[in-house]
Chain A
Amino acid sequence: MSFKIEPFDTETAVVTIGKTLDFRNADDFKSSCQQLVESGKHNFILDFSDTGILDSTGLGSIFSLYRKVSPLNGQVVFAAISRPVQVVVQLTRTYKVFRQFPSVDAAMQALQ
């Protein structure tokens, strides 16, 4: 588990993804985020600044989170996207679903 979760306010959490979000830790990511959703968080800022790999299973776990928060009018946004993550975003056209911000601070401001 390389990711780290920090609450920002009552509705928003910042998830620092760390080196990888892939088939090895995607289930942990899903269950951790599920607990946060159940505790009232419905906006998620995913910090990809240090991420070397986001694979299809990792992306699927983000889709799972998005499906949970969308009915609550929540958002999942991407911040500080690294080059490897940008490759995945382009290859899957997921920029159509997840707003992107140059930094976590910029994402926080947009969600306030």
Chain B
Amino acid sequence: MLFPKERSLPVSVRSGLQLIPSMYSEMHYFRDLETIIDEVHGLFEGWESNHDPKSKFSLETLNVAKLAVHEWLANILQHADFKDRVPELGLHISPCGERLYCVIQDNSEGFDVDGYYDKHHKITVVLPDRGMGLLLLRSCTEELKYERQEGRQQLMFYVTASEDSYLEIPFS
């Protein structure tokens, strides 16, 4: 068991009730790969509708965080190997000035993220169908780090909405 038992499942999974958006700074845990994307989107929708205009971070930044988290979860759901383990994933998001700090944990075998980025610096195919996810993730995040801690894989990054950040895609 990688994650604490008492917080091992989100409210909606434990009780069947609608997911209640929680405060930032706590870790949210998920085990059902079929529903995790919709549950995470539900969390973000709650945070978005409860966004305080006085917050230092913007709604755009929150949406960049949602996209970055989604891209990584999509990568896990499509490519991760959990062996015979019950999948366990955790998501933590907290404000850090104008930025949001995100941590995504899982108990899969993990990926060679650094190796991927060493081989794939940019998109070379014109208007590609696939293969943009991890490059888009890197483009919209800062201080992206991937490591193994206490038997779990952990992706950490900051996001902020910036017009200077973009993924270069060949259009012709």
Contacts and interface: CB of A to CB of B under 8 A. Distances in A.
Interface of A: 20, 22-24, 30, 52-53, 55-57, 59-61, 63-64, 66-67, 83-84, 87-88, 90-94, 96-97
A87 B60 contact: yes
B70 A55 contact: yes
A97 B171 contact: yes
Interface stretch (B24-32, B98-106, B122-130): B122-130
Interface residues on B, range: 20 to 34
Contacts of B161: 87
Chain B contact residues, majority secondary structure: helix
Q: What 5 A-B pairs are tightest by C-beta distance, nearest first?
A: A56-B132, A63-B127, A60-B129, A56-B133, A87-B63
A88 B166 CA distance: 9
A59 to B, nearest CB: 7
Nearest to B78: A23
Contacts of A84: 63, 66-67
Given A55-B70, A84-B66, A96-B171, A63 B128 contact: yes
Contacts of A60: 128-130, 132
Given A87-B64, A90-B166, A52 B45 contact: yes
Nearest to B132: A56
B142 interface: no
Interface string B46-73: 0000000000000110011011001100
B38 to A, nearest CB: 9
Given A91-B139, A91-B166, A91-B167, A53 B132 contact: no
